[in-house]
Amino acid sequence: MAQRILIIDDDTDICLLLRRFLSKNGYDVAIAHDGTTGLATLETFTPDLVLTDFRLGDMDGATILLKIKEKLPHVPVLIITGYSDIKIAISVMKQGAYDYITKPLFPDEILLTIKKALSQPTHYVHIAENPVDTTDGTAVTSAKKDKKANYIFGEGPESVHLYKQVDLVAPTNYSVLIYGESGSGKEAVALEIHKRSKRAAGPFVAMDCGAISKDLAASELFGHEKGSFTGALAQKIGHFEMADGGTLFLDEVGNLPYDIQVSLLRVVQERKVRRIGGNKEMAVDVRLIVASNERLIEAARKGKFREDLYYRFNEFSIDVPPIRERKEDLILFAQFFLEKTNEELGKKVRGFSQEVMRAFQDYPWPGNLREMRNVIRRATLLSESDVVEVGTLPFELINYNRLLFNEPSSVAPAPVQDTPRYYSPPQPVMPAPAPAPLPTKVDLKSTALDAEYEMILTVLKQVKFNKTKAAEVLGIDRKTLYNKMKQINLNS
């Protein structure tokens, strides 16, 4: 299904040109020529992104931004302005706009900004309620939902420990280093730290360092002046300026090029930033939270990451555990994503069959919470009753044990029709082999990781090492797949 964009602009020509251009690029576009009509359109057209002019006939950009965020808090809003005053841009960013675009408009710049906005993960908050089991065996919860939430911390021992660490460090001004696998919720933890800090009223700006090319990394971090390099068609403020007075979150910071790390160290030390091509240094008051799925101290010892920058970041560190170490919270996580998907699709699926919950417990979830969300969105869409049944789950999830270990799945197989029986001579009875001695110690985490890597290798072989297909089968994104292949030295 095409992603939806709402354009709000009182210039009819701009609306028509943008709709034609974005429609050709695969988007479903609606237009409105004033703020009142634009807000009314939200009742019948739920966009994935809003593109609005700052100066409208009936309201200004700050007002319409506030009203959009009240209705759709997680939808990114891009502001178009013909006024290149940088104060306006910073103001709307602090009020919740994702980014701004200055006139004259350049189609390629607009398309790039839209794609970047739509690729960013949504924001998260903490909720937690006890799961219960109904008498018919269907797993459901009685959670009191925060409709704005898109993440939960859970209630198991690992989750409680994680939340205590967040609660401890949030009121301080420490830089925080968050470790965790892809999809485990590192940005959620960073946002919760921000929300519980003295900077909560300031902006929370997130940047995925793994998704930014080397050529654009400096511009995204520090900004640039118009004409400072080829393609710099307009002045741009960087993420440090956007986050002034608030928190800057750098995800997968270990992927930053080494020369950018040098510039970043200087900014972190001096708390001053200079745009590319500019002469003026600007003071910035920013709290830094960074995240990585690999240990930065090990990367530093390999010469891939600056050790002095690592120590600047590592004033406090937090480990976000993967799903396979938070089994107590599986039902809670699953039901939460089910409720969010019900809201999205307008459905009333109330829970999961016991077969589905057994499959969830058996599966190691290599893509963590992000993978679970995608699985449940798919299953809810396919569900024809008020309970998610095992037939709506992806093949590799319900057949994980059979594919990996040639063992029968714990999920009951579908019934088969009776077939004619033919005579076969009796086979000699062989004595049962003696049971193998129990190991003295089992490293459960290592075993799960080994199983996960074997599964990745199996799927890669099946799709002839087509990484795009492998990522689809595994229910993870290409970046996560590349990172896991790198960890096991699988570079084919």
Residues 296 and 171 in one domain: yes
**Number of structural domains, the chain?**
3
Backbone angles phi, psi at 131, to 5 degrees: -75, 150
Residues 106 and 242 in one domain: no
> Residue 99 sits in a domain of what CATH number?
3.40.50.2300
> Residue 481 sits in a domain of what CATH number?
1.10.10.60
DSSP string, 158-175: HHHHHHHHHHHHTTS---
Q: What is the pTM of this model?
A: 0.58
Angle, helices 186-195/157-169, rounded to nearest 10 degrees? 40
Residues 74 and 192 in one domain: no
Q: pLDDT tens across 178-216, in order?
A: 999 988 889 989 999 999 999 998 899 998 888 777 778
Provide the 3-class DSSP secondary structure of residue 50: strand
Residues 98 and 189 in one domain: no
> Residue 163 sits in a domain of what CATH number?
3.40.50.300
**Residue 151: pLDDT over 90:** no
Tokens 């292949």 map to which residue? 485
User: Is 329 a domain residue?
Assistant: no
Residues 51 and 169 in one domain: no
pLDDT at 149: 53
Pick the last residue of a domain from 323, 358, 377: 323
Residues 99 and 13 in one domain: yes
d(CA 47, CA 61): 18
Structure-model confidence comparison of residues 420 and 91, the more confident one: 91
Query: Encoding tokens for residue 259?
Result: 């020369």
Pick the last residue of a domain from 308, 323, 338: 323
Provide the 3-class DSSP secondary structure of residue 111: helix
Q: Which of 31-35, 445-449, 461-465 has the lowest mean pLDDT?
A: 445-449
Structural domain that includes position 91: 4-119
User: Is 146 a domain residue?
Assistant: no
Residues 104 and 182 in one domain: no
pLDDT at 376: 93
Residues 173 and 110 in one domain: no
Q: What is the DSSP letter of 26?
A: T
Residues 216 and 81 in one domain: no
**Residue 292: pLDDT over 70:** yes
Residues 94 and 8 in one domain: yes
Q: Provide the Cα torsion 278, 283, 289, 294; round to 10°.
A: 40
Across the range 419-436, mean pLDDT stands at 45
Residues 103 and 187 in one domain: no
Q: pLDDT tens across 340-374, in order?
A: 899 888 899 989 998 999 899 889 998 899 899 99
Query: Encoding tokens for residue 369?
Result: 């919470």
Q: 289 - beta bridge partners?
A: 176, 249
Query: Encoding tokens for residue 397?
Result: 């999830």
Establish how many alpha carbons lie within 13 A of residue 458's alpha carbon, considering only the half-sphere containing its beta carbon: 17
Residues 94 and 193 in one domain: no
Query: What distance, in Å, lies between the first and last C-alpha atoms of the chain?
Result: 33
